[in-house]
Amino acid sequence: MPRPQRIEYENAFYHVMNRGRGRQFIFNDERYYLAFLETLSEVYTRFDCIIHAYCLMGNHYHLLLETPNANLSRIMRHINGVYTQRYNKERGGQVTCS
């Protein structure tokens, strides 16, 4: 069952985080960090999202975002979807399961 849709507000601040499945690493080396930062840059430009702070850990990330246009769900879909594609490309299309 999908999670209930969040109510989104204009000019709201959100602390969001995401963790690798099973707490696996999502940033294996510098290339992965750079790919994620590129994704954040796209979000800033494409969705008018203000990124106040970020913290990238080996197996998760934290973001402090401001959404002038009440579009958090679109922002997060882009971040997680695009970064997943870039992660899989760096891994040569290999997906590891544990």
Q: What is the reported pLDDT for 75?
A: 97
In a domain, 4, yes or no: no
Strand segments, DSSP code E, in 1-98 are: 12-19, 50-56, 60-67
* Average predicted confidence (pLDDT) for the chain: 92
In a domain, 49, yes or no: yes
* Residue 39 and residue 82 in contact, taking contact as beta carbons nearer than 8 Å: yes
Predicted confidence band of residue 96 (pLDDT cuts 50, 70, 90): low
Give how far Cα 58 sits from Cα of 18, 28, 46, Å.
11, 7, 26
* Domain CATH for 84: 3.30.70.1290
Number of domains composing the chain: 1
Question: Is 50 exceeded by the pLDDT of residue 5?
Answer: yes
Q: What is the reported pLDDT for 98?
A: 44
In a domain, 52, yes or no: yes
Predicted confidence band of residue 81 (pLDDT cuts 50, 70, 90): very high
| Structural domain span for residue 76 | 12-90
